[in-house]
A and B are shown apart, each in its own frame.
Chain A
């Protein structure tokens, strides 16, 4: 049965983010004032890398177990790896190297329960790997081609692994052509456990309800939304279950696709899309 491989140090998993860094990402989410899509997305990605690092930490001696290889590709003024600091320029990085090499560590304060019914403020260290960029057009096709060139050797090297998950996050149409052929080529890559999964997350520019994990094209507002739907893989069983447990209405044909997402849906999408089937 496909999509059943457990993640282990011998058979790590791979998560690649494709992040739209075009000029319109400098605007806020549709219908909400405040910080830009680029800034809020950067926070969400940093938070996800934080959580993945913690997920892979089991004890004092071993440090972070290399259950994942991770990459963040930006597409906007340039197309290429976009992590900062010591990881600059690297397409895929082990989660141990991610954890040990944030570009910087910020101190943030948060409120936590004190165990006696009250709240107390504590300072925590919040690592940052990824800074927002919002400039120029949307070369999504080029980003999809680059993803394929990065992941083709990875699937060759890891035939027993759960297949790679690529999460494309964009707020607008590709400016370098129809992205569906490049997406199709990317989704042809496979390990023995199944084909690469490509999920698409569209960030809202107008106020309005999001379309969440649809099973077909009914209700999609335009040709552009239909393109992204067609580019999106079906959710594998364990991710369907994760989405259902989060309260989403999910069917057997549900795809990894959200249209018109706000930041809350972005964070949930990232969490659901990167839940492991099993972590050994």
Chain B
């Protein structure tokens, strides 16, 4: 069975239509790859670009060693850039769209991969798994174990959310500089761990809650799509979450203790009220 059980929730910016949602997400529970991206709203077809990035990552991530090589990233981005370019009807663009497209599309990206020490979840309860993540921009990853957040990546404090994070672009000349800001992180994981990927409006709220001594993942673990919508709308209304597209991806690590009790899947099942299933490449 799958090592990872993933659920995704999304809500567009208040005042925008669903089709205008500019975040993108993709995951594959079999290959255990997750990605979330936040398209820059002042660029051209950022939605398309964000989607190209997350799908590319889940299909074939770049080589994630301890240091990602700049040349590997440039090469890896080429296929996403081609995909974005191919979806634009260049011949029929009016002058303003042509110029805007020329200036490029921009997006954050966070991607997460896992490696397991054995191929069978039943056998590896004693051996933790290993994860690697890549991030550019302010879309965030949090790793929760028990009642503590043990990883915050790449943003560690709510005050660090700036308005102009470095981004990935369809323009190679821009990426030349922004790739210097690319960060990687790795760690181990155990059954029962919860990985949270969130775009900045929700990530900022999450960090503020943590800094206030709260345990915000407890609310997130029990969400249904309806509860998620109500939670975000309420927080926006109270001014505690910025009005922006919101994407939340939850990944529970599933395994088996030597006593034969399934760990993680139980938590995931309770939280989402449904049986874990094997999802192949799923994206928005």
Contact = CB atoms under 8 A, between A and B. Distances in A.
B95 A125 contact: yes
Contacts of B44: 57-59
Nearest to B87: A60
B124 to A, nearest CB: 45
Contacts of B93: 60
Interface string B89-130: 100011111111001000000000000000000000000000
A60 B97 contact: yes
Nearest to A10: B15
Contact of A60 (B41, B42, B89, B243): B89
Contacts of A63: 94, 97
A111 interface: no
A263 interface: no
Nearest to B98: A125
A105 B88 contact: no
Contact of A54 (B15, B99, B243): B99
A10 B17 CA distance: 13
A280 to B, nearest CB: 6
A100 interface: yes
Contacts of A59: 44-45, 47-48
A279 interface: yes
Contacts of B45: 58-60
A150 to B, nearest CB: 25
B240 interface: no
Contacts of A50: 96, 99
Given A59-B44, A59-B45, A280 B15 contact: yes
B106 to A, nearest CB: 12
A63 B13 CA distance: 19
Nearest to A56: B96
Contacts of A60: 45, 88-89, 93, 97
A127 interface: yes
Contact of B15 (A8, A53, A127): A8
Contacts of B42: 55, 279
The bracket for how many chain A residues form the interface is 20 to 34
A163 B260 CA distance: 67
A70 interface: no
Contacts of B95: 105, 125, 127
B96 A99 contact: yes
Nearest to B48: A59
Contacts of B41: 58, 279
Nearest to B14: A280
B61 to A, nearest CB: 25
A59 B13 CA distance: 17
Interface in B175-217: none
Nearest to B176: A115
B171 to A, nearest CB: 8
Contacts of A105: 95
Interface in A14-51: 50
Contacts of A125: 95, 98-99
Contact of B13 (A10, A53, A58, A280): A280
B34 to A, nearest CB: 26
Max chain A Cβ within 10 angstroms of own Cβ: one of B43, B99, B173: B99
15 contacts: A8-B15, A10-B15, A54-B100, A57-B44, A57-B96, A57-B100, A58-B43, A58-B44, A59-B44, A59-B48, A64-B96, A99-B94, A115-B172, A124-B99, A280-B15
Interface of B: 13, 15-16, 20, 41-48, 88-89, 93-100, 103, 172-173, 243
Interface of A: 8, 10, 50, 53-55, 57-60, 63-64, 99-100, 105, 113, 115, 124-125, 127, 279-280
CB-CB nearest 3 A-B residue pairs: A57-B100, A125-B95, A53-B96
